[in-house]
Amino acid sequence: MNVEATKLQLMQSLLAVKRESFLERLQSVFDEEFTDLWSELTEEEQKGIEEGLAQADQGKFVSDEQAMKRFSKWH
């Protein structure tokens, strides 16, 4: 089974889950995976991501459509 098919199967299974305890355990797996990834980034990369998220929270971003239009001359 390829990755995309596995993702779809997992999403379908997740939608059927009724037990909150299971969802909490699953969330902890995702949290752990993200934490591991985050710790592998350099301090500079972490700061860049945090700055980008802060800018997005403040509405300081360009939509995908605007970016594509702006950079279409290089496409």
Domain boundaries, the chain: 3-74
- The predicted-structure confidence for 15-46, as pLDDT tens digits, reads as follows 999 999 999 999 999 888 877 788 888 999 99
Least confident of 21-25, 36-40, 56-60, 68-72: 36-40
Calculate the average pLDDT of the chain: 89
Residue 61, Ramachandran bin (φ over 0: left; ψ between -120 and 50: alpha; else beta): beta
Buried b (16+ CB within 10 A) or exposed e, 32-67: eeeeeeeeeeeeeeeeeeeeeeeeeeeeeeeeeeee
pTM above threshold 0.75: no
